[in-house]
């Protein structure tokens, strides 16, 4: 058994529900930090929404209006379509760019996705998200601070640790008409919450 397989088995027993962020039947999340970050996204998202790395559509299902989800995993998108059929879905690798027009969506949501790709690819995705957003890009990521929760951060599918330094690198060269602001942390700093808004 590989280390990654061993880790997945451990998570199945220990905290898989909390780590994968599935909602309970009433739409709530198990972890307070998870609930806090989802509620923050819901408060910040407005107008037409593009959700990059939408998984099973948990966040899209809690938003209103025009909602489009993108994910690389077909099975997760099938589950999203069954749960939230009023949204549109596309299966694609966002690291190759987005097939949407400039400023096509009011808000682009990127929730716990960027750390799963290289930081160079993550930068490209952020800049593509900025290109297709007319108002804002809302980003959440697990945060590697001193004393962080290893179950949230040390996931074998994470390509890099989200730190103050890596966040600065991620946003270097943001276009002048956008501003990185509203950097916030969930209680305990388990997640970093970032809103990039058009000025």
**Per-residue pLDDT reduced to its tens digit, 69-92:** 999 999 999 999 999 999 999 999
Domain contains 25: no
Q: What is the pTM of this model?
A: 0.82
Q: What pLDDT score was predicted for residue 107? A: 97
Q: How many domains does the chain have?
A: 1
Domain contains 26: no
Domain contains 15: no
Question: Which runs of consecutive H residues, i.e. helices, occur in 84-159?
Answer: 119-132, 150-153
Containing 18, the helix (H) or strand (E) segment is: helix 16-20
Nearest to residue 144, comparing CAs of 122, 118, 123, 164?
Answer: 164
Domain contains 107: yes
Domain contains 61: yes
Q: What is the CATH number of the domain that holds 128?
A: 3.40.50.150
Domain contains 2: no
CA 77 centroid distance within chain: 15
Domain contains 4: no
Residue 162, domain extent: 32-145+152-198
Give the model confidence (pLDDT) of 134-182 as tens digits. Answer: 999 999 988 877 666 666 677 778 887 888 888 889 999 888 888 887 6
Share of the chain above pLDDT 90, in %: 52
């Amino acid at each position: 058994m590989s280390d990654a397989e061993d880790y997945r088995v451990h998570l199945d027993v220990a905290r898989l529900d909390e780590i994968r962020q599935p909602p309970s039947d009433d739409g709530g999340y198990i972890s307070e930090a998870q609930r806090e970050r989802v509620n923050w996204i819901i408060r910040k998202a407005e107008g037409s929404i593009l959700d990059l790395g939408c998984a099973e559509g948990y966040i899209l299902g809690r938003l209103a209006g025009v909602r489009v989800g993108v994910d690389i995993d077909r099975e997760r998108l099938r589950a999203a379509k069954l749960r939230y059929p009023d949204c549109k879905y596309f299966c694609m690798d966002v690291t190759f760019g987005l097939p949407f027009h400039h400023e096509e969506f009011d808000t682009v949501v990127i929730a716990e996705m960027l750390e799963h790709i290289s930081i160079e690819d993550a930068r490209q995705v952020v800049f593509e998200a900025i290109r297709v957003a007319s108002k804002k890009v809302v980003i959440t990521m697990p945060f590697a601070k001193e004393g962080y929760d290893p179950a949230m951060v040390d996931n074998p599918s994470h390509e890099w640790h989200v730190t103050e330094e890596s966040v600065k690198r991620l946003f270097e060269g943001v276009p002048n008409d956008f501003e990185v602001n509203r950097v916030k942390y969930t209680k305990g700093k388990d997640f970093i919450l970032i809103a990039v808004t058009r000025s």
